Amino acid sequence: MSQNKPTIDFGFAEVPLEEKVKKVKGVFDSVSSNYDIMNDVMSMGVHRLWKRHTIELSGIRPGNVVLDLAGGTGDLTKEFAKRVGKTGRVVLADINESMVRVGRDRLINAGIAGNVEYTITNAEALAFPDNTFDVCTIAFGLRNVTNKDKALEELYRVLKPGGQLMILEFSKVTQPLLAKFYDFYSFNILPKMGKLIANDEDSYQYLAESIRMHPDQETLKQMMLDAGFDKVEYLNMSEGIVALHRGWKY
Amino acid sequence: MSKQPGLVNISLSKTIESVLNTAIRLDEEQGQAFKGLEDKVIKVTLTPVTSPVYFLFTSYMVSVQNQLTGEPDAALECTLFDFMSLPLNRTLPTSLMEGDTDLAMQFIDGLCGLDIDWEEHLSHYTGDLVAFKIGHGIRSFFEQKQTTKNNLGETVKEYLQFEINALPTQSQVKRFVQQVQQTQDEIDQLALRIEALLTKT
């Protein structure tokens, strides 16, 4: 009977469906304290530019209500909170408690308080009413979600009509030469850096593998359309190393 | 596809945001001039940069971005050069102002009141020497502009007053005004005297 159990990818490995959440939690529990440093080292600081670009394209304004799903250490929440002001609200949501704790401490230390809420939630079952948010973002989080279709449906549900979902995620490199270098970097250098900086080679090996298992630009676009989004477009950044998918609910 | 802001525009908005917030933090009044703009959005089109930048004012100070959902509360247009010259010029010549013009004026006044050291920020990218040369160039331009304006005014005044006698000098105007006033006083006295004589008869 056990052979018939549904499985799902966890990096390049196949694990029982219900195991993935636990395993992903394990990875992020392990990397949370060094997450920001590792992001800077891994992307050579470019992740800040990708995030800045995302914020720019959000078109956010004072009074907006924003969901930063898989918000982790709060990079996007910090900028959104500055922009929505006292009349707006930002919800930093993550399935991983240790990441939320790191994010909360970091934002409070940066003087961001009053218009930010923190919640631990599963992307596949968002604990918010329908039509709540003007903007929803999920940055470098969707690839860790077990049932991505369900998560996209949930994000569609909680968006207000006219609202925008922004998915910032590693994607398929469009430049063949860069793709070869990127593969070498991901599977040979990145885990070693993980070991050196965070003393955790396996977690960074998983991060590299999960990026390769994530749907490419066109597939994710179709998944968003299937989830109900009325208009979807994507923007490749750094030759497709990262893609920003934007979906609107009308 | 909707228009995406390029890397130049994003860098520009990020730089403006950082420069303004630094200036507000160093300001004696901590940006009180912008208090009335809280939760408002001002759209500024900086020519020749084609896409506009949006200034979002919140209690966390100013955020600058290239895109906005919905309409701004006020919009104005000026050249990038004029905008950057604000600390020297203390005025922002605008060619277009839309929406709530009071807000736009408050925004300009707030910016004029800030001591923005563009040269310092520029030096992070270009080095001190280049930043100084650019700053010196801009300062010289404005000094030259002011001197030329003053000289031109003086020359035209002297030509009209002394060369072609088309306009009186200041002392002549003063004397004339005094004479008019004196005549007015004498007429008033005379009117009172006539009134008194008429009452007697």
Taking only the tens place, the pLDDT of each residue in B128-149 is: 788 788 878 877 887 888 888 8
Question: Cis before residue B48, ω within 30 degrees of 0?
Answer: yes
Q: Which residues of A163-173 are buried (b: 16+ CB within 10 A; e: fewer)?
A: bbbbbbbbbbb
pLDDT at B170 (0 to 100): 82
pLDDT at B1 (0 to 100): 43
Q: Where are the domains of chain B?
A: 7-116, 127-167, 170-201
Separation between Cα atoms, residue A91 and residue A133, nearest integer Å: 9
pLDDT at B146 (0 to 100): 80
**Closest chain A residue by Cα to residue B40:** A62
Give me the CATH topology for the region B7-116: Nonspecific Lipid-transfer Protein; Chain A (3.30.1050)
Separation between Cα atoms, residue A181 and residue A69, nearest integer Å: 31
* Strand bridging mode B53-58 / B61-65: antiparallel
pLDDT at B36 (0 to 100): 82
- CA B35 to chain A, closest CA, distance in angstroms equals 13
> Is the pLDDT reported for residue B115 higher than 90?
no
Q: Mean per-residue pLDDT for A28-36?
A: 68
> Is the pLDDT reported for residue B87 higher than 70?
no
pLDDT at A2 (0 to 100): 47
> Is the pLDDT reported for residue B30 higher than 70?
no
Instruction: Choose the most confident range, by mean pLDDT, from A22-26, A140-144, A185-189, B10-14.
Output: A140-144
* Tokens encoding A115: 């218009």
CA-only gyration radius of chain B, Å: 27
Q: Which 7-66 residues of chain B touch chain A by CB within 8 A?
A: 10, 13-14, 38-41, 54, 56-61, 63, 65-66
**Is ipTM > 0.85 here?**
no
Separation between Cα atoms, residue B60 and residue B21, nearest integer Å: 9
Q: Give chain A's domains with CATH numbers.
A: 21-174+206-248 (3.40.50.150)
Question: Are B56 and A83 in contact (CB < 8 Å)?
Answer: yes
Q: Hey, is A75 helix, strand or coil?
A: helix
